Amino acid sequence: MVDEYLDIPYIASQPQTPFHKFDIYVPREIKTSSLCLLICFVHGGAWRSEDKSDHAVLARNLALSTGYPVAVPNYRLTPREATPDNIVRHPEHAKDILHFLEFICTAPDPRSSVESLSIHTHADDGATTGLPYQPQRLLLLGHSCAAHMLCTIFLDMPHGGRLYSSDIVLARTTTLVLSEGIYDIDTLLSSFPSYRKWFIEAVFGVHDSYADVSMTNAATKSGCGHIRWLIIHSKGDTLVDERQSQMAYDHLKSRAVEVCKSLDELIDEHNEILRGNQYIEIIRRHIQKIVATLE
């Protein structure tokens, strides 16, 4: 069984927006560990679509399979009909995820505030409350465009919009697991030129080259040397080619980052991998290895 705490705000603002809320799934038979691990799954959707609720089944299954709580945040999306008043462009999506991670690491002790959250229903919209689970270590999963967003947070991207994480977020993040990721926009467009008009220009602006937002041009960030990375890609993915993941893996290796890859275990389509058992099994095995080295 899994207890579900839904629509917890991670930014205190009025009026509350659904884009700045997250859900957390806590297994009742939680693994007892001094590490207090929390898995955070950040969804994809080309920076323009999807919602945390779309991944409720995945979150429940991850929680049950691993024995650790799973949090799924929303973030602002680039609107399909953009105007000067509503445009959301890179790195604003990643900024929201960074706000979420800062909240996760600094929220009040749940023993004093968990009563204000409702199991299987919605948290009070009026205030930012404590967590039903207090993590000491974070295991971050990013799918598709979310892989790029996490790279923006945990690497020094070459452009001027780089993000600065607090020491506590960097210290508590143990591993990054990135699946079907977008890492190098120019290379992506060479394989899928239609993506330029579909979502790239809306998200990053109109440019001849997007090298300045490429993860493969990013430097390592101070305070992240302990983080282990796993790059996952499915042989059946027709939306993002394997070259993206291989480039990401090669770049991290060249920077002496501790990274491994799984490029030949999955065979399903881009989003279908999230509905199968094999993806969860890969995550479970990776977490098992991480925990073995930390305890």
**Pairwise CA distance, residues 237 & 268, whole Å:** 7
Binning pLDDT at 50, 70 and 90, where does residue 160 land? low
**Pairwise CA distance, residues 28 & 122, whole Å:** 19
- Give the pLDDT confidence of 147-156 residue by residue, as tens digits: 999 999 999 9
For residue 76, what are its two tokens?
């602002």
- Give the pLDDT confidence of 216-255 residue by residue, as tens digits: 999 999 999 999 999 999 999 999 999 999 999 999 999 9
Percent of the chain past pLDDT 90, that is, above it, reads 77
Binning pLDDT at 50, 70 and 90, where does residue 201 land? very high
Say yes or no to pLDDT of 272 above 80. Answer: yes
Binning pLDDT at 50, 70 and 90, where does residue 75 land? very high
- Residue 95 makes CB contacts below 8 A (sequence gap 6+) with 163
Beta-bridge mates of residue 134: none
CB 232 within 8 A of CB 282: yes
Note the CATH architecture for domain 2-294.
3-Layer(aba) Sandwich (3.40)
CB 153 within 8 A of CB 100: no
For residue 282, what are its two tokens?
């890969």
Helices of type H across 124-180: 145-154, 167-172
Q: What is the pTM of this model?
A: 0.92
The residue ranges of every structural domain in the chain are 2-294
Report strand pairing: 70-73 vs 2-9.
Answer: unpaired
Percent of the chain past pLDDT 70, that is, above it, reads 91
Under DSSP, the state recorded for 218 is: P
- Give the pLDDT confidence of 76-135 residue by residue, as tens digits: 999 988 777 789 999 999 999 999 999 999 987 544 444 444 444 444 443 445 688 888
3-state secondary structure of 82: coil
